[in-house]
Structure 1
Amino acid sequence: MCGRYSLTTPIDQLLQRLKGPLPAGLVEHYLPRAQVRPGEPLLLQRQEHGRLEVGLALWGLLPEWSKDPLSRRRPINARGETVAEKASFRGPWRHRRALVPADGFYEWQNRVDPATGKAWKQPWLFRRRDRAPFWLAGVWDRWVGPDGSEVESCCLLTCAPNPLLARVHDRMPVVIPDGLEDPWLEPRDGPGLRALEPLLLPWEPVGWEAVKVRFSPEPVLEPQREPEPESRREPVEADGHGEPVKQGELWPV
């Protein structure tokens, strides 16, 4: 699964990737975020009514047909293998796919202290070595209440892990390659949807690295850059600088 990601890219660089109208006040209020968490607003690129636009949606999908938004569980992830089948995701998968800009995502590795036998989780940050932003695949929906109020929400798609992620977790987020934004965002049915299925397969981690993280409470990147695998694998290449990451807010809540 993917339960946290980072978006620390400066707004001027981010605007080079985003297309279409922006939410009012985004440029003025944008601040980098070392952690984006479930329940918080996330930035997304989408297509609606035949045009590209940039939107904000709460992380945790609320289907448009939901009768009671307060009592319903709001999933933060949808499995790529079953997104076309599950009732909560079928409609958004056909007509409301999204691209979520990020420059890193976190996964937690199950560990056991050999001295005490106590289980704990080690967080790792996965990012491109060149620090460039990338697209996380998502689906979004719009819920309209009896009084006309609207809630836009989103969840991220996941797939089986590649060799780098498999050292830490059994799932990872789907990443859409640069250049395939338009095909991903266009509403599709039937054969058109099936043509997107290869994008839901594990992606190659060429040019990626895994960075050990501790939270205190802000995430701090530590020098170790290789998860300890259960079986021996090639080490994860990276430089060795421990660096604090500042926490900010993307949008005033």
Structure 2
Amino acid sequence: MCGRFALSTPLKQLPSVLQHRMDREHQDRYAERDLIVPGEPLLAFRSDQSGPEASLMLWGLIPGWQKDPAKGPRPFNARAETVAEKPSFRGAWRHRRCLLPASCFFEKGRAIRRIDRHSFWLAGLWERWLGGDGSEVDTCTILTTTPNDLVRPLHQRMPVVIPEGLEEAWMAPVHGQQLRALEPLLAPWDPSGWEVVNKQSDGQLSLLSGLES
């Protein structure tokens, strides 16, 4: 499960591949965010017809075939194990994978982040809903997998994290064997280089002296 995360990274410290594809409006409107929750707009990196681009999306996926976006579920997570079969996700899994920059994600009042404080990529899927009046709504969901040793004491699920350098490979529309080649990226990631910190009442994050095992 990933229902809360943050992007408290300064603009100039975002991944360079994302910075280079943020237009002036995105750069001017960018603000560090200590908490992002489902239903809110978020910054995403995706590949559209014109190639890789920065985009703003709503967190909570609306399938393109859904008649009324106000009705029906809007899942903010999708299980990696079943994403290729479920009608709400399988089209996006084949053609519309995206990346969401994050500085940490939260479970049970604790934050999981990289020790070096660098941002990282959460794996996502996105859809574009088209209304009869010509309106468009871009939405996304975050892929989750089984937890590693760091996250397991906190939750039975954790977000899929895509390593830096594999951005275009992850987002490229592929089929068949090429699509199956992405499946190893959905496995639990190596927890070395990561830490769990406690979110205190004053909003500051402090390193836990030890995580229950």
Normalised to the residue count of structure 1, the TM-score between the two structures is: 0.80
Instruction: Find the aligned partners of 2:154 and 2:118 in 1 and give their Cα distance.
Output: 22
In the other structure, the counterpart of 2:22 is 22
Q: Is it true that 1:91 corresponds to 2:75 in the alignment?
A: no
2:196–2:207 Cα contact (<8 Å) kept:
no
In the other structure, the counterpart of 2:55 is 55
- By how many angstroms is 1:21 displaced? 3.9
Instruction: Find the aligned partners of 1:73 and 1:214 in 2 and give their Cα distance.
Output: 33
Residues 148-195 of structure 1: per-residue CA shift (max 9 Å, x gap): 111100000000000000011100000001111111010011111100
- By how many angstroms is 1:213 displaced? 1.4
Instruction: Indicate the SS of the match to 2:212.
Output: coil
The 1:223/1:201 distance shift into structure 2, 3 A limit, reads closer
In the other structure, the counterpart of 1:67 is 67
- Tell me the percent identity: 52
1:138–1:154 Cα contact (<8 Å) kept:
yes
- By how many angstroms is 1:13 displaced? 1.6
2:64–2:127 Cα contact (<8 Å) kept:
yes
Instruction: Find the aligned partners of 2:29 and 2:179 in 1 and give their Cα distance.
Output: 36
AA matched with 1:25: E
Q: Where does the alignment leave 5 or more consecutive residues of structure 1 unmatched?
A: 109-122, 230-253
The 1:223/1:176 distance shift into structure 2, 3 A limit, reads closer
Matches within 5 A, 1:57-136: 57-108=57-108, 123-136=109-122
- By how many angstroms is 1:29 displaced? 1.9
The 1:221/1:53 distance shift into structure 2, 3 A limit, reads same
Instruction: Indicate the SS of the match to 2:204.
Output: strand
- Aligned length in residues: 213
Instruction: Indicate the SS of the match to 2:12.
Output: helix
The 1:21/1:130 distance shift into structure 2, 3 A limit, reads closer
In the other structure, the counterpart of 1:209 is 195
In the other structure, the counterpart of 2:39 is 39
AA matched with 1:198: P
Normalised to the residue count of structure 2, the TM-score between the two structures is: 0.95
AA matched with 1:102: A
2:12–2:19 Cα contact (<8 Å) kept:
no
Q: In the alignment, which of 112, 118, 138 is matched to residue 152 of structure 1?
A: 138
Instruction: Find the aligned partners of 1:215 and 1:72 in 2 and give their Cα distance.
Output: 36
In the other structure, the counterpart of 1:192 is 178
AA matched with 2:68: D
1:211–1:226 Cα contact (<8 Å) kept:
no
Instruction: Indicate the SS of the match to 2:13.
Output: helix
Give 1 or 2 for the bigger CA radius of gyration: 1
Instruction: Find the aligned partners of 1:149 and 1:24 in 2 and give their Cα distance.
Output: 23
1:64–1:143 Cα contact (<8 Å) kept:
yes
In the other structure, the counterpart of 1:166 is 152
Residues 117-171 of structure 1: per-residue CA shift (max 9 Å, x gap): xxxxxx1100000000110000000001111111100000000000000011100
- By how many angstroms is 1:68 displaced? 1.4
Instruction: Find the aligned partners of 2:61 and 2:126 in 1 and give their Cα distance.
Output: 7
**Superposed structure 1 runs of 4+ greater than 4 Å apart:** none
RMSD over aligned Cα, in angstroms? 1.5
Residues 58-90 of structure 1: per-residue CA shift (max 9 Å, x gap): 000001100111111100000000111110001
Q: Is it true that 1:220 corresponds to 2:212 in the alignment?
A: no
AA matched with 1:179: G
- By how many angstroms is 1:104 displaced? 0.5
